[in-house]
Amino acid sequence: MESPDIKTILVRADTTTNGRYANQFIRAFAAHFISQNLCAQPFYPPINLTKLGITLYKPSTESQNIGVPQKVINLEEDTFMDYAKTEMALSETATPNLQDNTLLDLNHIYCQTPEHALKINEFLRHPENQVRIIQANSNNPRYDANNDVFIHVRLGDVPHHNPGYEYYNKVLSGLEFTNGYISSDTINNPICRKLIHKYRLQIINPHALIEDILQFGSTCKYLVLSAGTFSWLFGVLGFNSQIYYPDPELKRRWHGNIFECMPGWNKISY
């Protein structure tokens, strides 16, 4: 199969309404993998991945006059990765649909599958990419040089999905750490206040840039995550961290199965 002309195959993942930062991060990577495989023109969400040291695919020559696509394919959660596979696999599934001036639209799905999560993890840990991410992190002297713990407590609009105090307490009580840090979208919640008091945790400024919080947290030796995609980002960027996450089967899962598939992560029952 010949590679499609970059002027005729477009991949959209630029929504700002379907999910917050982590959802956009994951969807951006789907656009990256698909566009790279098809030599297509990607449209990424407006998040600052450059600050994280992440560079996604761009064609060598970008289309200037895109116009209205002749065909729109709304990609599906269980098949979007078909377009990122090898030419042989692609020819059996997606190729017949890729006629001239086709738009592949990711904006209505979340791309939270184990296959995609592992592919992102592989990309981030590729030696060249990992070096760039570490170099871009102003906290990089902390990698492998601290005994600190970072706790992320996801509450906000989904407090009923949080694993609760007992989960965090179970993990923290089994760790010997020097400094403890906590980040939350609802820092005054009783769960956070109780953890802060018992373990003398330092509060990460909730008004700091998202990228700054991710970069600092991901350098800590221990990462204690909540459910949710933003917590997952800390883990996938925690190259040298010991990572703990709550058993997703103990609460109704509201996101994809992207925790259990991650190699070396510690699932905690509580």
Q: What's the pTM?
A: 0.91
Task: Give the pLDDT band of residue 8 (cuts 50, 70, 90).
Answer: confident
Q: Is the pLDDT of residue 168 over 90?
A: yes
Burial 136-147 (b: 16+ CB within 10 A, else e): bbeeeebbeebe
Task: Give the pLDDT band of residue 62 (cuts 50, 70, 90).
Answer: low
Q: Rounded to the nearest 5°, which phi and psi values hold at 81?
A: -75, -10
**Residue whose C-alpha is closest to residue 182's, from 197, 199, 167, 201:** 201
Q: What is the DSSP letter of 47?
A: -
Kindly give, in sequence order, each residue whose CB lies less than 8 Å from that of residue 59, ignoring residues fewer than 6 positions away: 6, 35, 39, 40, 41
pLDDT at 88: 44
CA distances from 65 to 62, 84, 121 (A): 9, 25, 34
**Domains delineated in the chain:** 9-111 (no CATH), 145-268 (3.40.50)
Q: Is the pLDDT of residue 247 over 90?
A: yes
**How far apart are the C-alpha atoms of 111 and 256, rounded to whole Å?**
8
CA distances from 71 to 8, 16, 185 (A): 10, 23, 40
